[in-house]
Amino acid sequence: MADKDDRRTLIGGSDAGAALGLSPWKTARELWYEKRGELPRKELDAERVRFGILLEDTIAGEFAQRNGYRLRRQRALVRHPRYPFIGAHIDRRIEGERVGVECKCVDAFAFRSDEWGHDFTDCVPMHYLVQCVVYMAVLDFERWYLAALVGGNTLRTYLIERDTEFEALVLDGLREFWQRVESGEPPPFDYDHPTTPALMRRLYPGTDGGVVALDDAVQSWHEVRIEADAMAKRYTAVEKTARLHILECMGDAGIGQLPGGGEYRRTMVERSAYDVDETEYVQLRYFKPRTRKEPA
């Protein structure tokens, strides 16, 4: 694993997704602050990290056994020969071949997304794909396996072949990001990213009591916010009205089947009294119609 000094002086493979705006866990803006030392690197879930490290040997061993390979560790940091600000700490390489292996622990729920394809394809989430692309570029390898332990009990294997055109796009994007780190010009905020509110709280944790004059652009965003809030309230009221219409039509029935497919299920929910008063209410849930799954 990279030490703290390495993390500050380079973009590692695991940083590439964030630097390119492809990571679900971190934005380019947050990574920029970390690389410049303006924010400490966010602490990861210690339990998740610990088990990821413990299971790496298991994943690598099972991958090697299933595919008839001998694997070797490469603990040293390797920097790209042309772009020394891009580096790689890889999990394993296959002995006798210019091929690497990346080991991942993947949550079973996250694996259900359409980002994951069939074994031995390169259909993996983009932040994992660009990580492997960076490793191939740094070490000048032609292939990279991604061995994913899904839900702790299923090993899936993916194969990323080197694509020099895509690799060039990735390296250009990382070079642009690093130029921003060196120049002090931050990437724009990704306001739609789920981690941006937490980043804002880290950047502006309190108040100095001062007063600032906001410009016309902020006035426009204020009006957008007010309008969106009013629309949300209207839609919430409409949803409640529609729900009541459905409940009325169902009466005491437990299941209401729609003519277009799908159904509503009506159940009684009881909650015992603990710190709050005992409650009882009707829960109404919609279930989509089942679709036939085509064979793989």
pLDDT in tens, 71-109: 999 888 999 999 999 999 999 999 999 999 999 999 888
Q: Is the pLDDT of residue 36 over 60?
A: yes
What the block records as the tokens of 254 is 């437990």
pLDDT of the residue at 1: 46
Measured distance CA(204)–CA(202) in Å, rounded: 6
Measured distance CA(181)–CA(174) in Å, rounded: 11
Residue appearing with tokens 């339990």:
47
pLDDT of the residue at 274: 58
Torsion of CA 174, 180, 181, 187, to 10 degrees: -90
Predicted TM-score of the model (pTM):
0.80
* DSSP string over 134-165: HHHHHHT-SEEEEEEEETTTEEEEEEEE--HH
Strongest mean pLDDT among 7-21, 36-50, 136-150, 210-224 = 136-150
Give Rg (Cα) of the chain.
Answer: 25
- Between 9-23, 34-48, 121-135, 202-216, the lowest mean confidence (pLDDT) is in 34-48
Q: What is the DSSP letter of 234?
A: H
Q: How many CB atoms lie within 10 A of CB 167?
A: 15
What 3-state class would DSSP assign to 57? helix
* H or E stretch covering 73: none
Fold topology of 4-203:
Lambda Exonuclease; Chain A (3.90.320)
Strongest mean pLDDT among 15-19, 107-111, 243-247 = 15-19
Q: Is the pLDDT of residue 236 over 80?
A: yes
Per DSSP, helices labelled H in the chain are 4-9, 13-19, 28-35, 46-67, 108-111, 126-139, 164-183, 196-203, 216-250
Q: Is the pLDDT of residue 131 over 90?
A: yes
For 63, 245, 251, the CA distances from 53, given in Å and listed in that order, are: 16, 53, 55
Measured distance CA(177)–CA(154) in Å, rounded: 36
Q: What is the DSSP letter of 88?
A: E
Percent of the chain with pLDDT over 90: 71
